[in-house]
Amino acid sequence: MIDDVAESAMPGVPPIGATAEATSRGRLVSWPFIVVYAAAYTGLWMALLPPILVGLAMRVRVLAPVHATGSLSLVVGVGALMALFGNPFFGRLSDRTTSRFGMRRPWLIAGALGGAVGLVIVATAASIPHLLLGWCITQLAYNAELAALAAILADQVPVSQRGTVSGIVGISLPVGMISGTFLAQALAHFTLAAFLVPAAIALISALILVATLPDQRLAIAQQARYGWREFFGSYWINPQRFPDFALAWSSRFLLYAGIAVLMTYQGFYLIRQLGCAPDDVPRLIFLSTLVQSCAVAIFSALGGGLSDAVGRRKVFVSGAALVYALALLMIAFAPSYALFFAGMAIGGAAQGVYLAAGLALVTDVLPERETCAAGNLGIFNIASVLPQSLMPAIAPGILWASGGSFATLFAVAAVLVALSAWTIRPVRGVR
C-alpha cells in the first residue's frame, strides 16, 4: 500500500512533497521537456478538433442525409455536454489519484487510449446513435487527458517559466487544428484513417510525455475530502458576490456562442449556401482554418502585449468582439468562397486579440485568486464549452424559422457576439 510519503517511490515518480518543493525552489524545466509537453497538447488538439470542424458533418451526411442538420446538432451538442462535465470532474479525480504511477500519468494514458477507442467508433458507426456513443466517449476521454495536461503546468513548471511555457502551449491549439484538419482533408476518402491517424499521433505523443514526466505521487493520507459540496462547487461561483467575474464569464459565453455556430455549420453552409461540392468541403475548410489559426496565433501575441503596454483590457476585449461580429456578418452574406475566406481571416485576428486580452482581464478580476485560481478558471472555461452544446440545440429552430437560411443563422450569431462586446463594459475591476 502507498499511504505514506516516506515509502519508496516508483522510478521517476517522486512523492508529492518532493515535486512541490523543487517547483517552489524554481528549478527550471528543460527545453526537451517543454517540447514533449507541447507536443502532447498538439496531438490532443489534432485528434479532438478536426471532427468538430469537418469529420462529424461528413459522417452525418452519410448516415442520415435527410436529417443531417438535426443529427449533427444532436451529436455535437451532447458531446459538448460530456466535455462540460468531464473536464472539471476528471481534474478533481486527478488531484486525488493515489496511483503508484503518479497523479497525472494514469489519466494521460487512459485519456489518449479512450479517445482513440471513441474515434474508432465514430469512424465505423453504422447509425446516428452509434456515432453519438463514439463521440461521447471521445469527448470524455480527451477531456480527462486535457485536465491532466493542464495540471502539469502547475505541478512541474516554476513561476519563472510559466509564461514562456504557457505561450508555447498556446500555439499548440492552432498548430493542432491546422495539422489535424490537413490530415482530415488529405485522408477524406479513407474514413477510418482520417480519424485513426490523428488519434495515433495523440496517443504516441501522450506516451512520450508519460515516459519523461517526473510525476508527483499522492499518499492516501494526503488525499483531500471529496463530497457532494466539493462536486457542485466545481461548477459555480456566486455572481452577486463577484459581478465582474460574472460579466467576464457572460462575455466569453456569448463570443463562443458565435464561434460554436460557425464551427458546427460551416460545412453545411459551404454546400448549401455557396454551392460548393461536398468532396471539396474538407479542403476548403482546411484552407480557411489554416488562415484563421495563423491569425489567432499572431494577433493573440500582439493583442496581449499591447494590452499590457497600455494598461487597458476592456477596450481590446470589446473591440475584438465587435470585429468578430462584423466578420460573422461578412461570412453570413458572402456571395463567394473568397469573401468567406476573408471573413474567417478577420475573425481569427479578432479572436486572437479577444482571447489574449480576455484571459488577462478575467485573471485580474478572478475571485479568490490566491487559493482557488485553478478551480475558478475551470469554471470560467465552462463559458467556452457550454455554447457548443446549447447552440446546436437552438440552431435547428433558427434554420426552420428562416426557411433553412444559413445567412440568418450566422447573422444571429453575429448579434450574440456583439452583445459580448457590450457585456464587458460594466466591469469595474479593470480599465
Q: How far apart are CA 113 and CA 109, in angstroms?
A: 6
Gap between the Cα atoms of 63 and 246, Å rounded: 41
Quote the Cα angle for 175-144-381, to 5°: 70
Please tell me the number of Cα atoms within 13 Å of 350 on its side-chain side: 27
Question: Which domains are delineated in the chain?
Answer: 12-235 (1.20.1250.20), 239-431 (1.20.1250.20)
Other CB atoms within 10 Å distance of the CB of residue 264: 27
**Length of the chain as a residue count:** 431
Q: Are 178 and 12 a contacting pair, CB within 8 Å?
A: no
Q: How far is CA 50 from the centre of its chain?
A: 12
Burial of 98 (0-12, 13-18, 19+ CB in 10 A): middle
Q: Is the pTM of this model over 0.85?
A: no
pLDDT tens across the length of the chain (431 residues): 333 333 333 444 555 544 444 444 457 778 888 889 989 989 999 998 888 767 788 888 888 877 777 888 888 888 888 887 887 788 777 777 777 788 788 999 999 999 999 999 999 998 999 999 999 999 999 988 988 887 777 677 775 565 566 656 767 877 888 888 788 778 877 878 888 999 999 999 999 999 998 877 765 655 556 666 666 666 667 777 788 888 988 998 999 999 989 988 888 889 888 888 888 887 888 888 888 888 887 887 677 667 767 777 788 889 999 999 999 999 999 988 999 999 999 999 998 888 777 766 776 776 765 444 445 666 777 787 788 778 888 888 898 888 888 889 999 999 999 999 999 888 876 77
What are the distances in angstroms from CA 28 to CA 13, 19, 40?
A: 18, 12, 20
